[in-house]
Structure formats: C-alpha cells, structure tokens
Amino acid sequence: MTEDGELPLDARLIGGRYRLAGRLGSGPAGTVWRARDEQGGRLVAVKEPLLPGDPATDEESRRVAHRLHHEARAATRVRHPSAVTVYDVVTEDGVPWIVMELVAGESLREVLRRGPLPPTEAARIGLAVLGALRAAHSVGIVHRDVKPANVLLESGTGRVVLTDFGIGDGHADESPAGFVAPERAAGPGAGPASDLWSLGALLRAAVGDADPGRLGPLGPLLDRLHAGEPAARPDAEEVAAVLHDHLGPAPAPEPVPIPRAPSPDPASAPDPPSDSTPGPTPAPAPAGGAAPAPAPAPWRAPLSALGLLLAKKTESD
C-alpha cells in the first residue's frame, strides 16, 4: 500500500484476474507488464496501449480503443509456433488490455546491438517470422509493425516469436526509420506485401554490412523485397523457398536407441535341446505324471532329407 492507501500500480488487478507484477518495457505504443493470471496460475504479459487521450471524453481515443480491441480479438485466431499467443482482451476504463504469452528471452533489437548475425541465422529467423506473418495474413491480419524490437528469441530454445499482431499504434511516422514500406509511409495502404517489405528490412538489418558474396541468394531476395511497387515484390511462397534453399536440407534426426530386452535369468532358462536343430518347445507334463508324447520330428524338404541320408551312409562306410 502507498501512503494514501492505494495499491501500487504494479500490484493492480486487471479485469478481476491479472495481477500486475512489474514493468517489462515501454514504447510509443504503450507499456508491457509482467502479470500473474490468478485464475490460471501462470505468468503472462499484459500490454496497456497508449491512447491519444481519455476514451471517456475523447472521440479519437474511443475510436482507437475500439480498433485495438477488435484487432486483438482477431489476433487470438493466429496459430503458429512463431506467433505470440494472445490469450485474452479485457477493458479497464475504456482501455483494452491485451493478455499474451510471456516469452523469456531478448528481442532481436537487443541481439543486434552486439553485432550482425551470420546469414544462415538471419535466414532461420526470417523463415520463422515469415511463417508467423503467413498465419496472420490467412486470417486477415496485417502486422504493420515488423521490426527487430517485435521479434523475440526465447532463452534456452532459440524459438523465434513475433509479437504485436495488428495491435500496434499503426502510425508509420512512429515506426523506426527503414522498416516502413513506401505505401505505408504515403498513407494507410498496409497489406501483406507491406509486411514482406518490412521483413526484407529486418533481414538486411540482421546481416548488417555483410559481404554480398556471403549472402548468396539472400542478396537478390532483399533487393526484390524492397521494390517500390507491392506487385513487384516476391510473394510469401517464393520468399520461403529462397530462405529454405539458403538454409539447406534439415539435418537428419539423431538415431533413437532401442531399449534392449532384459536378459533372462540363467537359473530359470530351460536346458538347451540335445539336437542342434531348434524344434518346438515340449508341452508340459500332464497332472497324472505320465511322460508327454514325444514331439514330432521337424519336417524336412525332400532334398534336405536325401542329403542327411547320404551323409549318414558315408559315416557308416
């Protein structure tokens, strides 16, 4: 409690369910909080969008809040391993709070501050981001804000996670320079091709000033993704094919050892038969103690029987 009896902001309960536990980061689009889902018992990330004003009194803020709520709800339909999972959207004082999967790791922006990536690693990240974008486009969502800060690399697994599906502020003038497609900079003309343009910018930032000879097929791909006209850019399928070719074939899986059956106890193993030719296992003796009938001799093919007969005749001569 604070001196005036109020709970600190990072202990606030959102939607009667999500208890804020600390600030993860802030930017032009809002603040992301770490929170605990008090019903599900898991940690989540909760985004508090930054609106132009108070939705209770400002029409523009109400319009933006409505759009963000609608797009966040739509984002719950995006299903891909590299797309952040949106769990819930709750409204507090007219502001839609977006509840998402909490990814433990660092952003690509933080990684690139330490230096560029090898082209193969950049292609791996690009292929994962492209898969998430294709999943979003398939349900009618355009990301509009593909940039290194919105790409997370999960600690321990290296999983690539693209965040903020259609729930950024949508203002091109507030996005980092170099990541906004020309049609977006000139107006609200965002479409799937705009996301691919931004993906090309992300890949170029990832490899830095790499020697064009080291980029291989990535070099021409990046040039084509930055075409001024959306129709001149390669589509998602072609981009995926080039990235796959750059990565090469997937490594063969490691062989899985097959558990060996436990060795039988020698004391309990039956005596081996006197004949070297394996035969059927004798039936157990009946209860009366009578000896079991001898097992029938194994059938042999005629030529085999003739060979055995000749061999025994030779021994007797």
Least confident of 63-72, 150-159, 220-229, 293-302: 293-302
User: Are both 1-102 and 103-249 of the same fold?
Assistant: no
Alpha-carbon distance of 69 to 85, in angstroms, equals 15
pTM (2 d.p.): 0.73
Least confident of 34-43, 82-91, 160-169, 235-244: 160-169
For the cut 80, the answer to whether the pLDDT of residue 261 exceeds it is no
Return the pLDDT at 24.
93
Q: Three-state SS across the chain?
A: CCCCCCCCHHHCEECCCEEEEEEEEEECCEEEEEEEECCCCCEEEEEEECCCCCCCCCHHHHHHHHHHHHHHHHHCCCCCCCECCEEEEEEECCEEEEEEECCCEEEHHHHHCCCCCCHHHHHHHHHHHHHHHHHHHHCCCCCCCCCHHHEEEECCCCCEEECCCCCCCCCHHHCCCCCCCHHHHCCCCCCHHHHHHHHHHHHHHHHCCCCHHHHCCHHHHHHHHCCCCHHHCCCHHHHHHHHHHHHCCCCCCCCCCCCCCCCCCHHHCCCCCCCCCCCCCCCCCCCCCCCCCCCCCCCCCHHHHHHHHHHHHHHHC
Q: Which residue has the tokens 């062989």?
A: 255
For the cut 80, the answer to whether the pLDDT of residue 253 exceeds it is no
CA 241 to centroid of chain Cα atoms = 19
Least confident of 134-143, 221-230, 260-269: 260-269
Q: How confident is the model at residue 187 (pLDDT cuts 50, 70, 90)?
A: low
For the cut 50, the answer to whether the pLDDT of residue 315 exceeds it is no
In 3D space, the residue among 243, 222, 241, 242 whose CA is nearest the CA of residue 233 turns out to be 222
Return the pLDDT at 263.
54
Return the pLDDT at 277.
47
For the cut 70, the answer to whether the pLDDT of residue 133 exceeds it is yes
Return the pLDDT at 3.
47
For the chain, give every domain's residue range: 1-102, 103-249
Q: How confident is the model at residue 166 (pLDDT cuts 50, 70, 90)?
A: low
Q: What is the percentage of the chain residues whose pLDDT exceeds 90?
A: 59
For the cut 60, the answer to whether the pLDDT of residue 265 exceeds it is no
Alpha-carbon distance of 244 to 239, in angstroms, equals 9
Active site residue 145: yes
Alpha-carbon distance of 7 to 269, in angstroms, equals 74
Return the pLDDT at 171.
53
Q: How confident is the model at residue 310 (pLDDT cuts 50, 70, 90)?
A: very low
Report the chain's mean pLDDT, rounded to a whole number: 80
Q: Which of 88, 145, 169, 195 is catalytic?
A: 145
For the cut 60, the answer to whether the pLDDT of residue 235 exceeds it is yes
Quick one: fold of 103-249? Answer: Transferase(Phosphotransferase); domain 1 (1.10.510)
Return the pLDDT at 188.
57
Would you tell me which CATH number, out of the four given (3.30.200.20, 3.40.190.180, 3.20.20.80, 3.40.50.200), belongs to the domain 1-102?
3.30.200.20
Return the pLDDT at 250.
61
Q: Which residue has the higher pLDDT, 276 or 217?
A: 217
Return the pLDDT at 260.
53
Taking residues 29-53, report their average pLDDT. Answer: 94
Q: Which residue has the tokens 């339909």?
A: 77
For the cut 60, the answer to whether the pLDDT of residue 165 exceeds it is yes
Return the pLDDT at 213.
77
